[in-house]
Structure 1
């Protein structure tokens, strides 16, 4: 059954649950099997990875998820994916700080979501500096060091993410129309990066302004920032939106042609395909593929160079849809829900995602959340397309997911 059929059932609460309920059910808090599962939970480093344990299945058993999700392969320096890998970390999800250190060798870039560009009178400043954890940055770099050939070392780079915060329309108009204003912003950003020994920055601005202003003005903002950062041996990663039918092409081939030689990488937001208003899969595989091919289609000029700079977005969160709406969930909420599943999760062949439907004391739920299989299929797609990966966000997913990278 396609998940859209189940969603019809969910959103019409007076109908009986259909085919999905035949493979799932509810465990009461006092059920003995649940206690047994809790005792069998594996934690920390293990001798076998998820492939050796046979856990990467299109229809994973709920009991296997509950038993293995806290574990991971002991050799955390092993990398299966050979493209650029970026991981976002946020101050509101503290587990992400630990994940970044444990699996530091699997990442090329860590992007802490700490900082905002704000306006202070006629000047610009960086807000969020209190969240900067210099000790943690040092630990991540130290743990991320990898010895390469001829005694060279590679270590993880740190690119904090910046957004323009509390800018009025007048502030934005001034910034976009005046090169001197942009230089003032760039000087503040450069100082922040230099003072804190960052390698560059991630800029999230395109989604907010694309479609509202002329592309040439956005180009001016991004290109001037990239060039002024480069003069200081700093690099710019640009967050970009995927192609969607409802928004059209906000960032496409022409934008890539103009920017790719000046931008270090492009963090492509290939998630949030569905929402409470439009329930369904988080990031259908066909949608992910289309997003890359819209920007750098097969056979385009410098295709390999362009695609090597695209970081395919992977969500580590899911969605719990209920008759009242529901919303995003992370690993702890997901685990509470998946405990109610007796057998395996349902696999949707079109979207290449897993979901399950349950009814518990809080009502009816249809839950979409990444699985080993769904993530691995997107990693394989990234390899096929010659792109990198950006993970939103570390700490939202399950520990054994990192065996896949």
Structure 2
């Protein structure tokens, strides 16, 4: 009996094994299908659903804002004709976007020592500008020679930060304070002045300079003398050609640039010392841009607006003419001055 039980038990055990075998394979197949479904689910989650949600979130958060960049300032309300100073001050610290430019034309910003926040603002809004001009240098007479003062003001670390953040050109401003008659009449002095400025650009790896001299020459009476006036124009042309003959260190395909500061005429009856349309035409081939100082229209003796719009329009029409190819060719070279300050005049009771 015991043997029979063993014999009966063996087939029974085999049958159980036979039954267990197929069940295990089915479970393995089910496990394999579950794993595949899990992998597919993970793939869909990470490569389809999450990117899709991210795009929707980005469009919702930033896409609509990008479309609104242009009208934001108009919606805030300061763009109107009957604005008061308090409304302007209220909107001074508002920036719709720190990196995106809304315009294609060049924009130059001066960084002055009397604005302590200028250096930080230049870094913050670097992408908004094409040209940055720190007010650093003066070219002065020193006995019978010339010296260029201001390198101690230059901040190479700041320049490096600017260039890491954007592509704005660095053109420090140089004020020409040397005695003009000596400078313009003597070729040796003229060549020395040009060499000093070009050499400084090379050694400090600037992209060019902004030169201010016209107002100084007018104050010295140089521009009232036709011969000296022609020499002054010749000096600017030679400086421009000298800068254009040097490639930029940062971009060898680009030459050094010259931006020239000019004051606006206050009347259509041009005076001898005024910078007029003939001067603009004469220098246009040698100068890359003209920084037009359309501000300080009023003063203590004649209080009023700092930069009235009609006067700005008049100045541009006077320099460029109202129509023609000449105006279209020269207009892109003018950096129209916009003042970010105002004057509070106290009127006497007399």
TM-score, with length taken from structure 2? 0.70
Structure 2 residue corresponding to 1:164, chosen from 169, 176, 187: 176
Q: 2:302, 2:84 → 1: CA distance? A: 27
| Alignment of 1:53 onto 2:76 | yes
Gaps spanning 5+ residues in structure 1: where?
1-46, 145-154, 325-363, 365-405
Indicate the SS of the match to 1:257: helix
Q: Per-residue deviation at 1:87?
A: 0.4
Deviations 1:236-278 (A, max 9, x none): 1111111113983511111122110111001111111100111
Q: Per-residue deviation at 1:301?
A: 4.7
Number of equivalences: 264
Q: Could you say if the C-alpha distance between residues 92 and 61 of structure 1 is closer, same or farther in structure 2, counting changes exceeding 3 Å?
A: closer
Q: 1:51, 1:290 → 2: CA distance? A: 25
Q: 1:218, 1:66 → 2: CA distance? A: 41
Q: Could you say if the C-alpha distance between residues 243 and 135 of structure 1 is closer, same or farther in structure 2, counting changes exceeding 3 Å?
A: same
Q: Could you say if the C-alpha distance between residues 113 and 79 of structure 1 is closer, same or farther in structure 2, counting changes exceeding 3 Å?
A: same
Higher helix content, 1 or 2: 2
Q: Per-residue deviation at 1:225?
A: 1.0
Matches within 5 A, 1:4-403: 49-60=72-83, 68-73=91-96, 75-144=97-166, 155-165=167-177, 167=178, 171-210=179-218, 211-214=223-226, 215-232=229-246, 233-245=255-267, 248-249=270-271, 250-323=274-347
Gaps spanning 5+ residues in structure 2: where?
1-67, 247-254
Indicate the SS of the match to 1:289: helix
Over the aligned positions, Cα root-mean-square deviation in angstroms equals 2.3
Q: 1:307, 1:68 → 2: CA distance? A: 29
Q: Could you say if the C-alpha distance between residues 317 and 55 of structure 1 is closer, same or farther in structure 2, counting changes exceeding 3 Å?
A: closer
Q: Could you say if the C-alpha distance between residues 58 and 253 of structure 1 is closer, same or farther in structure 2, counting changes exceeding 3 Å?
A: closer
1:91 and 1:131 in contact (8 A); partners too: no
2:208 and 2:257 in contact (8 A); partners too: yes
Deviations 1:305-340 (A, max 9, x none): 21110111111111010136xxxxxxxxxxxxxxxx
Q: 1:125, 1:60 → 2: CA distance? A: 47
Q: Could you say if the C-alpha distance between residues 285 and 67 of structure 1 is closer, same or farther in structure 2, counting changes exceeding 3 Å?
A: closer
Deviations 1:349-401 (A, max 9, x none): xxxxxxxxxxxxxxx9xxxxxxxxxxxxxxxxxxxxxxxxxxxxxxxxxxxxx
Indicate the SS of the match to 1:256: helix
Larger radius of gyration: 2
Q: 2:89, 2:291 → 1: CA distance? A: 31
Q: Per-residue deviation at 1:67?
A: 5.2
Higher strand content, 1 or 2: 1
Q: Per-residue deviation at 1:284?
A: 0.9
Q: 2:83, 2:313 → 1: CA distance? A: 24
